[in-house]
Amino acid sequence: MEDFDDIEQQVRNIIVEQLQVDVRNVTKDSTIDGLGGDSLKALQILSLFETHFNISISDEDAIKINSFKSAVEVVRKHLKK
């Protein structure tokens, strides 16, 4: 079993809710495509990150979000700001 810290858990929950997948399927190596998502789902996940974490994600970082890891990275980066 992988360990997820608090931020990772929240990111995971948002992905689960948007893609309607079993939480156990979202691992640290998951990609949005691999979980059955696409660019439109990525856009919605991104939008939820902004409201949930109260952050503003730049376009440059927005296009990087295509996996669990990249999502967590982008969220952490903007939480630090």
Partner 1 sequence: MNRRAVITGIGTVTCVGINRDSFWDAIINGRSGIKRISFFEPSQHRTQIAGEIRDFDPLKYIHSKEVKDMDRISHLSIAATEEAVDNAGGKLSKDTGIIIGTGIGGITTDDIEHSLYNLKGPRYVHPLAIPMIMCNATACHISKRYGLMGPGYTVVTACTSGTNAIGEAYRLIKNGYTNTIIAGGVDASITPGIFSAWCAMRVLSTMNDNPEGACKPFSKDRGGMVLSEGAGIVVIEELEQALKRSANIYAEIIGYGSSYDASHITAPNGNGQAMAMEIALKEANLPPSEVDYISAHGTGTVLNDKIETMSIKRVFSNKAYSIPISSLKSMIGHTLGASGAIGLIASCLSIRDNIVPPTINYTTPDPECDLDYVPNKARKSNLNVIMLNSFGFGGSNGVLIIKRFTL
Binding site for partner 1 (CB under 8 A): 39-40, 43, 47, 59, 62
When the beta carbons of 16 and 62 are compared against partner 1, the nearer one is: 62
Least Å from the CB of residue 18 to partner 1 = 14
Residue with tokens 């669990």: 68
Q: What does the block give as tokens for 33?
A: 């495509």
The least distance separating partner 1 from the CB of residue 24, rounded to whole angstroms, comes to 29
Q: How far apart are CA 68 and CA 10, in angstroms?
A: 11
Asked if 28 and 68 count as a contact pair (C-beta separation under 8 A), the reply is: yes
Q: State which residue, 50 or 73, has the beta carbon closest to partner 1.
A: 50
